[in-house]
Amino acid sequence: MGTQQKRSSIRINLLQLILLLAISSVIVVLVNSLFVSYRVQRDLLVSTVTQANRAYAAKLATSIDEFLETALQQLAFGAAVIGKNWNNPKAIATETRRLKHQTDSFNSVVTVNHLGTVLATDPDLGLVDSRLTSESSRTALEKRQGWISSPFVSSTGNLIIFISQPVFAPDGKYLGYVGGTIYLLANNILNDILGNHYYQDGSYVSVIDQNRKILYHRQSDLIGTEAPPRMLYQEVLKGQTGGTRLTNAENLDVMAGFAPVKHTGWGVVVQKPTDLALAPLSKATEEVLIRSLPLTALIALGILWMSRRITLPLRKLADSARNLDQPGVGEAIRSVKSWYFEAAELKRAMILGTDMVRGTIEKLNHDIQIDALTGLFNRRRQETALTVWEAEGRPFALMEVDIDFFKRVNDTYGHPVGDQVLEQIASLITHHTRNDDLACRIGGEEFTLLLPDTTAQAAYQIAERLRKAVESALFPGVGRVTISIGVALWPEQVDNIHEVMRVADQMLYKAKHNGRNQVQMAWADQTQKVRA
């Protein structure tokens, strides 16, 4: 009964295993191919986009360089004109106005003498004849050469950068400077260069100066603030050009390219969100997967057909093996068409072994013998059960039971009374065991109980109930008798099925050594394998 239950609980067969292995292999190969392809193309795309951003950053940096150089040249030309007409306020105002309106390079232009007094502005800022005391004005006066400032807030409240050129008289005397302002938050050529770029795919540009002040950003509220101290900014401010993938200040995974503006030491950074860059790749991978499905399905059908052909002979042989004790099984085995070597060899072995198996089954049936005195099974039945359960892999608990001081009973009351004690204990054992349990007398006052499919906790409870039942029973002519029990489990506690008897015997010895009339269980402290 237990064997049939064990067999029927195994639902998977060889055909299913082959199909599972083959189809899993196909799926793994397909997924791995798609994954490797995706990774290779992704890395290539990341490298390509990063290099493109680097090249574009370098192009923008060159454009900014050219713009700043042009702005300095415009101011230098204007400074020369003003220097020749220094004593002509109208000429100074005219040239200042021309510098402002010649191009959209500057949002305002100012001419200042060597004392810092404003001589002319365009547009009219209300600063004429006032003295400029800002740091940028003082620096322009001190440098007496072409100069580009860092971002600062002007006296009119605008966030600007200031570009100046010194004004010298024809005889070389320093007279002052002429300067143009670029409002970082207003329309001008610099903003046009940075804002109107040919990438329309989510890329954006930012520019920082030597002090990491943001000169341009798509988020205008960040302009004028200090950029975080990232390695990328450190490299570009050192004059390096390159590209990398990083998480930016907005917590976005981006691919960035950077390049320096050589004239000023500024850094230009072009960033593109990685998810936008990889979106086409994901769609391409999905398309590859869809196109590969028909061929994959065809391969799966081929695997199914071949698997059925391979497993059919083995399935028929397995069906015959399950019914070896049935008439006609030999003819059924011979009728199997074994078209490959392994199936043919298995078929031959089963034909040769049919008679042997039948004889073994008959021998096992005859070996079921009963102990004449107690009516329990004997040692041979126990060995047979252990062999069968080991072959089936059926777990069990083994209880070794020994009557305490039984020799004293025989010596005191005689062997006939001792035999009555054995019979009564056998009756108690039978009463406290289940239908599937196997109770054996293996000699003298020693009994064993084999409890199939029993946990350690359940075995302990059964043993304890038996011990209490014997302890509370009244044995005619003797009175009270007690037993000691040792319990062990297979395969939870030992790997070798024959070792389980040794472990149970050790537990029995421990029970007797500790005072008898008790159950000793091979818990985890002996084997570390008992299930609670």
* C-beta neighbour count of 10 within 10 angstroms: 7
What is the DSSP secondary structure assignment for residue 482, as one 8-state letter?
-
pLDDT band per the 50, 70, 90 thresholds, residue 16: confident
| Residue 3 predicted with pLDDT over 50 | no
d(CA 72, CA 263): 11
Please give the share of the chain, as a percent, with pLDDT higher than 90.
Answer: 32
Q: 11-317 sits in which CATH class?
A: alpha beta
Residue 445 annotated in active site: yes
Buried b (16+ CB within 10 A) or exposed e, 381-413: bbebbbeebeeeebbbbbbbbbbbebeebbeeb
For the packed helices 415-431 and 456-472, what is the interaxial angle rounded to 10 degrees? 140
d(CA 202, CA 407): 97
DSSP 124-177: --S-TTPBP-SHHHHHHHHH-S-EEPPPEE-TTS-EEEEEEEEEE-TTS-EEEE
Average predicted confidence (pLDDT) for the chain: 83
CB-based burial of residue 211 (10 Å sphere; 0-12 exposed, 13-18 middle, 19+ buried)? Answer: exposed
Higher-confidence position of 129 and 219:
129
The β-bridge partners of 451 are: 397
d(CA 154, CA 106): 14
| Residue 478 predicted with pLDDT over 90 | yes
Higher-confidence position of 313 and 1:
313
CA distance to 20, 118, 143, 467, per residue, from 166 (Å): 84, 14, 8, 114
The predicted structure's pLDDT at residue 530: 38
Lowest mean pLDDT among 14-28, 257-271, 516-530: 516-530
Rounded CA Rg of the chain: 49
Lowest mean pLDDT among 52-66, 319-333, 416-430: 319-333
pLDDT band per the 50, 70, 90 thresholds, residue 531: very low
**Max mean pLDDT range (50-59, 478-487, 496-505):** 478-487
pLDDT in tens, 178-220: 999 888 777 767 777 776 655 556 677 888 887 888 878 777 7
Contact 496, 461 (CB under 8 A): no
Higher-confidence position of 169 and 347:
169
The predicted structure's pLDDT at residue 467: 96
* C-beta neighbour count of 221 within 10 angstroms: 8
pTM score over 0.75: no
Higher-confidence position of 291 and 437:
437
Lowest mean pLDDT among 4-18, 155-169, 241-255: 4-18
The predicted structure's pLDDT at residue 32: 82
Q: What is the arithmetic mean of pLDDT over 498-511?
A: 94
Task: To the nearest 10°, report the CA torsion of 57, 62, 64, 66.
Answer: -170
What is the DSSP secondary structure assignment for residue 228, as one 8-state letter?
P
Give the start-to-end residue ranges of the domains of the chain. Answer: 11-317, 323-361, 367-527
Which CATH number is associated with domain 367-527?
Answer: 3.30.70.270
Q: Which pair of structure tokens corresponds to residue 297?
A: 């399905």
The predicted structure's pLDDT at residue 6: 44
What is the DSSP secondary structure assignment for residue 334, as one 8-state letter?
H
* C-beta neighbour count of 187 within 10 angstroms: 11
pLDDT in tens, 418-436: 999 999 999 999 999 999 9
pLDDT in tens, 142-182: 888 988 887 777 766 777 888 899 999 999 899 999 999 88
| Residue 528 predicted with pLDDT over 50 | no
Strand stretches in 137-294, DSSP E: 147-148, 152-153, 159-168, 174-183, 204-208, 214-216, 242-247, 253-261, 266-273
Q: What is the arithmetic mean of pLDDT over 55-60?
A: 84
pLDDT band per the 50, 70, 90 thresholds, residue 5: very low
Higher-confidence position of 92 and 302:
92
3-state secondary structure of 422: helix
* 331, amino acid identity: E
Please give the share of the chain, as a percent, with pLDDT higher than 70.
Answer: 90
Domain pair 11-317 / 367-527, same fold? no
For the packed helices 14-84 and 89-102, what is the interaxial angle rounded to 10 degrees? 160
The number of angstroms, rounded, from the C-alpha of 194 to the middle of its chain's C-alpha atoms is 41
d(CA 24, CA 310): 18
Lowest mean pLDDT among 62-71, 232-241, 370-379, 409-418: 232-241
H or E element in which residue 48 lies: helix 14-84
Residue of 95, 400, 445, 492 with catalytic role: 445
**Max mean pLDDT range (79-88, 129-138, 324-333, 362-371):** 79-88
The predicted structure's pLDDT at residue 67: 83
pLDDT in tens, 361-408: 665 555 567 888 999 999 988 998 999 999 999 999 999 999 999 999
* 485, amino acid identity: I
| Residue 291 predicted with pLDDT over 90 | no
